[in-house]
Structure 1
Amino acid sequence: MALQAQVKDTLPSFKDDYYLVKEGDTLMIELPEVAVLPKHKFKEPKDVHYYYWFKRKVFKAYPYATLASKRIDSLRLRLDRIPSKSKKRKYVKRVQKYLEKELTDQLKKMTRTEGRVLIKLIHRQTGKTAFENIREFRSGWKAFWYNTTANLFKLSLKTEYSPNTINEDYLIEDILQRAYIQEELIFQEPKLNIPSISILESKKGEINVEEYKQMFAKIRKKKKRRSKRSKKKKTVSPNYR
């Protein structure tokens, strides 16, 4: 019994100049554009662990930065439609309280590194530093951000995101771009104009995690000193005759 095809073949699109060459024949086909990033180059094999440690920090901070961007965008749109200044102030306060409920507990659970990454990502996603966003809406936001982020982590809310000049920011951008490709994170268009691919290509995949290695080396030294002091206290006991 003869079987018939259920779906008819359609003509290929000739809009894009992608080619497949096989055994001397040239066939024009349409292919999706895929960003190919340089392969990572680590100075030492153990550097991979520090990179993935930092990746977890970026993954934790990123959703809060995208949430802040969405809320700020909707806030600006809403404020443009409100003619009265007093009503605008009331609306800003209401949104602030809502954001505080969403973010306060989560932000207080963050480490200092996560808090620093969040401040940088807020600049990346909103186009303004955390300080500039606070200055724009004023009211109770200053107290909220200083209490939950700046004072808590001893960080500056004026910190800017610059992946082309700052190594940590480059690592953040590298992690984000690879996560987008692997669909590990949901892409949100940054308000900050960043030539991401050219920045990553210029570094040729080189990964520098020295600052984190030094940070953990200091932590290990402190732990050793504490353990030595605690051992000395335990060994000191009164002499019995």
Structure 2
Amino acid sequence: MDEMFIGKDKAKMAEMDRIKKIQRRVFKVYPYAKLAAENLKILNANMAKLKTEREKKKYFKIVENYLENEFEGRLKKFSRMEGQILVKLIHRQTGVTTYKLVKDLKSGWKAFWSNNTARLFDVDLKAEYDPFNELDDFYIEGMLVKAFKEGKLQRQDPARPIDLAELSATWKEKLNRSRKAREEKEAKEKAALEENK
């Protein structure tokens, strides 16, 4: 049964709804990011075995055609938010931004136009996964860890290890600072109101 929150605080309820939406999107796109990391590893291993540039280009073209035929239709159906999360999860799984992947595998020109096209849909191919500084990425990491433990998603470690204890401590400190700043601001406003009476 899904968690349900009951309360009067509309802001907290709206935030919980937003987090639930992020979770649904993460569960939908994570398998694609995982598959991208696996395919990239296979591609790099096979490219390393090839000797000439011509063989590499020919092999890459075959792989590219296969991936386009297999996934292009499904990926086009993703919403903007799903696309944004997918780009971040690809960075999490591969350690490389989607922009850099396109640039390295195709060309700088193709990466430039791909990024410009993606921006029309509010997706930045240069976006990085940064759970230590981005709150949504922190939520995503927590969702992934929980889903792995519950067996809802198949675990694949990130390209760059994430220290969960350090991550939790970082956000606890940030949220405490934010809460204290908010309380101080409210106290000053209250004092100013008292003074004006």
% of aligned pairs identical?
Answer: 38
Structure number with the higher strand fraction is 1
Aligned-pair CA distance for 1:192? 2.3
| Distance change >3 Å, CA 76–CA 181, structure 1 → 2 | same
The one of 146, 150, 160 equivalent to 1:192 is 160
Distance 2:110 2:165 in 1: 35
| Structure having the higher Rg | 1
Kept after mapping to 2: 8 A contact 1:146/1:152: no
In structure 1, the partner of 2:185 is: none
Aligned-pair CA distance for 1:52? 1.3
TM-score relative to the length of structure 1? 0.61
In structure 2, the partner of 1:105 is: 73
TM-score relative to the length of structure 2? 0.74
Aligned-pair CA distance for 1:66? 0.6
State whether structure 2 residue 19 is matched by structure 1 residue 51: yes
In structure 1, the partner of 2:87 is: 119
In structure 1, the partner of 2:33 is: 65
Cα RMSD, aligned residues only: 2.7
| Distance change >3 Å, CA 131–CA 169, structure 1 → 2 | same
Ranked by relative contact order (alpha carbons within 8 Å, sequence separation 6 or more), the top structure is 1
Kept after mapping to 2: 8 A contact 1:174/1:200: no
Distance 2:168 2:101 in 1: 28
Q: Where does 1:73-92 land on structure 2 (aligned, <5 Å)?
A: 73-92=41-60
Task: Kindly provide the CA deviation profile for residues 37-89 of structure 1, in whole angstroms up to 9, marking residues without a partner as x.
Answer: xxxxx972453322211100111110110111111100000011001110000
| Distance change >3 Å, CA 152–CA 127, structure 1 → 2 | same
Aligned-pair CA distance for 1:136? 1.5
Distance 1:167 1:184 in 2: 22
The one of 104, 122, 129 equivalent to 1:161 is 129
Instruction: Return the letter of the residue paired with 1:117.
Output: I
Distance 2:62 2:47 in 1: 12
Kept after mapping to 1: 8 A contact 2:98/2:126: yes
SS in structure 2 of the partner of residue 184 of structure 1: coil
Kept after mapping to 1: 8 A contact 2:132/2:170: no
Distance 1:133 1:97 in 2: 16
| Distance change >3 Å, CA 46–CA 156, structure 1 → 2 | closer
Aligned-pair CA distance for 1:146? 2.4
SS in structure 1 of the partner of residue 12 of structure 2: coil
Structure number with the higher helix fraction is 2
SS in structure 2 of the partner of residue 44 of structure 1: helix
In structure 1, the partner of 2:100 is: 132
Distance 2:161 2:110 in 1: 26
Task: Kindly provide the CA deviation profile for residues 24-48 of structure 1, in whole angstroms up to 9, marking residues without a partner as x.
Answer: xxxxxxxxxxxxxxxxxx9724533
In structure 2, the partner of 1:146 is: 114
Q: Which structure 2 residue ranges, 5 or more long, are not aligned? A: 1-8, 176-197
